[in-house]
Amino acid sequence: MPTIKLLYTNTDTTPAEQAGCRFGDKGTHTSRTMMLDELVQVLAATSPNAKRGDYAAAIIEENCLGKPTASTRRLTNQRLGELYGLDPSIAIFRVFRKLWEKDEKGRPLLVLLCALARDPLLAATADAVMQLQPGAEFLREPMRAGVRAAVGERLNDSILDKVVRNAASSWTQAGHLEGRALKIRRQVLPTSACAAFALYLAYLHGFRGFDLFSAGWVAVLDCPPAQGKDLALEAKRLGLLDIRIAGDILEINFSRLEQPT
């Protein structure tokens, strides 16, 4: 089963950071989940070509989320911005929004991938979910230990428990967990657009060649390397990326994804 270590290599993180990925020991999951329902509403209320100011206006001025006060609207705008960028000048959000428009079925997994790239606290919980076999019961302590290892003593026990609750909710929203008090691991079904986004994120984090298909970004989709290759070829047929496989050589180009809508 994949581990969090497979999300990252030991290479320079500059390309990933320049594209909008975040590293460190801080994240939005100290106070929120990945906010899938709210993001769905915001994206429905804005154009695919929207700028950062347009997203802020939809949330704060037009109150597309129906928040009761201006302060909660501003805070929601801040938290969604932290998680996703909401700015086409940020490469991973630009790619995410393009794929969002093309693949309704894969949207929860697209959101999870973007949140994993933007919130190190959520990324620190991946082991606890991905090491479970489908049908197994989710236990909070392994997730808690994973977050503690990532942040050290920076978070007190109360906040650490809140991160675990929020992260468990996010994995439930994405489809990896099912249930409320008792959560059970379930297998998710990736689409070619999800695979394209996962491969893009893996590439940003230093994976190359066939190692892309065994990277944690693809494994998070419950997608073994052989299936990842098939989905990548389907993504090529859909015009999402360019890929060439010749023997033990793999060349992949993501310029189609990164182009503005």
- What ranges make up the beta strands (E) of the chain? 177-178, 184-185, 242-246, 249-253
pTM above 0.85, yes or no: yes
Check residues 255 and 4 and name the one with the higher pLDDT.
Answer: 255
* Per-residue model confidence (pLDDT) at position 9: 58
pLDDT confidence of residue 247: 86
pLDDT of residue 10: 57
Residue ranges of domains in the chain = 192-258
Q: Residue 236 — very low, low, confident or very high, per pLDDT cuts 50/70/90?
A: very high
Name the region of 40 (left: φ>0; alpha: ψ -120 to 50; beta: rest).
alpha
Average pLDDT, the chain: 93
Q: What is the pLDDT of residue 94?
A: 97
* pLDDT, position 5: 45
Please give the pLDDT value at position 13.
86
What pLDDT is stored for residue 12 in this prediction?
Answer: 76
- What pLDDT was estimated at residue 7? 63
Please report, for residues 6, 48, 146, 214, 232, the alpha-carbon distance to residue 133 in angstroms, rounded to integers and kept in the order given.
18, 37, 18, 18, 25
pLDDT at 3: 41
Quick one: the chain helix, strand, coil %, rounded to 5? 55, 5, 40
Residue 170 near residue 29 (C-beta atoms within 8 A): yes
Helices 107-118, 157-174: axis angle to 10 degrees equals 150
Q: Report yes or no: 193 and 235 within 8 Å, Cβ to Cβ.
A: yes
Mean pLDDT of 187-203: 97
Mean pLDDT of 94-103: 96
pLDDT for the residue numbered 2: 40
Beta bridge partners of 184: 137, 178
Task: Give the C-alpha separation, 42 to 165, whole Å.
Answer: 24
